[in-house]
């Protein structure tokens, strides 16, 4: 479903559906990969077949999943710009692991044992945000991005708009695709208004749809599309079992929560 010119079903937040369309200048935006290689590979395959080469990654490459090195290496190879997420910083011990839930702690500690020095060095280079053309890219709220504030409520959304000056800010972190307009009432993506767009999660969706989620934005036509793709969930589940990572991680992938 297009954000423009089609009207949304919801004034404020929207979980997107998708269909095919031809674009002029397309960029892809990914977030919250969480070491889920089959999900990431499905996206890169789609982007290659649609000739979309400019890719932005909004962070949380690691955490929760069984393929941290493979995912970091793919992001290094494929992405035009990559920023840091809270799990990436925790992997570098820049955020205390005690701040994470039991699943997060266990996978971060497990990843610490296998992550390569080269991949750790790559994570060290990542900024907290990127501004490109008239777009901002950040993992969580653009207001004090180092705090990794979730945007769930109207108040949190209003505060977040004070954190950037561009027309659109792309985010992740909640793992739920959404659109937020600055006036909290707009149903179209318009040049005259500002928006925050959550692209959802590549590797651990939490909106009840067990498909990988990412965004495509046409910078010329000013149109956004959220894409949902099926991927080989079983391959990820098998690896989670192999490495004795928490079984709840497998269940979350199956139900998309």
Q: What is the pLDDT of residues 146-196, one digit of tens each?
A: 999 999 988 999 999 999 999 999 999 999 999 999 987 766 788 888 999
What is the Cβ-side half-sphere exposure of residue 101, based on CA atoms within 13 angstroms?
6
Distance in angstroms (rounded) separating the CA atoms of residues 127 and 55: 16
Q: Average pLDDT for residues 128-147, to the nearest whole number?
A: 97
Closest residue by Cα to residue 201 from 233, 165, 236, 173: 173
Which of 254, 252, 249 is closest to 65 using CA atoms? 249
Whole-angstrom distance, CA of residue 79 vs CA of residue 240: 26
> Which range is least confidently modeled, 21-35, 205-219, 239-253?
21-35
Per residue in 4-63, pLDDT (tens digit) is 333 323 333 433 333 333 334 899 999 999 999 999 999 999 999 999 999 999 999 999
Q: What pLDDT sits at residue 7?
A: 32
In this structure, the strands spanning 135-138 and 168-171 are parallel
Domains of the chain listed by start with CATH number:
26-250 (3.60.21.10)
Is the confidence at residue 234, as pLDDT, over 90? yes
Backbone angles phi, psi at 74, to 5 degrees: -65, -45
**Cα 181 to Cα 101: distance, rounded to the nearest angstrom:** 31
Instruction: Tokens for 117, please give them.
Output: 């020095």
Question: Region 128-152: what's the mean pLDDT?
Answer: 97
pLDDT in tens, 109-127: 999 999 999 999 999 999 9
Q: Is 0.75 topped by the overall pTM?
A: yes
Q: What pLDDT score does 239 carry?
A: 98
Q: What is the model's pLDDT at position 189?
A: 82
Spatial separation of the C-alpha atoms in residues 162 and 7, rounded to whole Å: 26
SS3 132: strand
Which ranges in the chain belong to alpha helices (H)? 37-49, 68-78, 86-91, 102-114, 117-124, 154-160, 233-242, 247-255
Among 151, 147, 154, 158, smallest CA distance to 176 is for: 151
pLDDT value for 16: 38
Task: Say yes or no to pLDDT of 93 above 50.
Answer: yes
pLDDT at 97 over 80: yes
Residues 6+ apart with CB under 8 A from 158: 184
Res 6: pLDDT: 32
pLDDT of residue 154: 84
Tokens of 69: 């090195």
Q: What is the pLDDT of residue 72?
A: 99
pLDDT at 186: 66
């Amino acid at each position: 479903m297009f954000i423009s010119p089609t009207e949304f079903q919801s004034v404020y937040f929207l979980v997107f559906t998708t269909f095919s369309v031809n674009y002029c200048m397309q960029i892809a935006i990914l977030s919250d990969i969480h070491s889920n290689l089959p999900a990431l590979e499905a996206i890169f395959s789609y982007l290659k077949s649609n000739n979309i080469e400019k890719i932005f990654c909004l962070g949380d490459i690691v955490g929760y999943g069984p393929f941290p090195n493979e995912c970091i290496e793919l992001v290094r190879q494929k992405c035009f710009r990559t920023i840091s997420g809270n799990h990436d910083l925790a992997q570098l011990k820049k955020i205390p692991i005690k701040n994470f839930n039991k699943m997060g702690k266990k996978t971060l500690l497990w990843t610490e044992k296998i992550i390569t020095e080269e991949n750790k060095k790559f994570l060290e280079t990542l900024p907290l945000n990127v501004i490109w053309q008239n777009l901002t890219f950040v993992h969580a709220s653009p207001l004090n991005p180092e705090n990794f504030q979730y945007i769930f409520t109207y108040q949190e959304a209003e505060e977040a708009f004070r954190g950037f000056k561009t027309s659109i800010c792309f985010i992740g972190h909640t793992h739920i695709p959404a659109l937020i307009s600055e006036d909290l009432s707009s149903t179209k993506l318009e040049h005259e208004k500002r928006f925050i767009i959550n692209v959802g999660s590549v590797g651990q969706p939490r909106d009840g749809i067990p498909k990988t989620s990412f965004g495509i934005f046409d910078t010329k036509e000013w149109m956004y599309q959220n894409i949902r793709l099926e991927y080989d969930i079983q391959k990820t589940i098998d690896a989670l079992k192999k490495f004795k990572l928490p079984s709840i991680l497998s269940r979350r992938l199956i139900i998309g929560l």
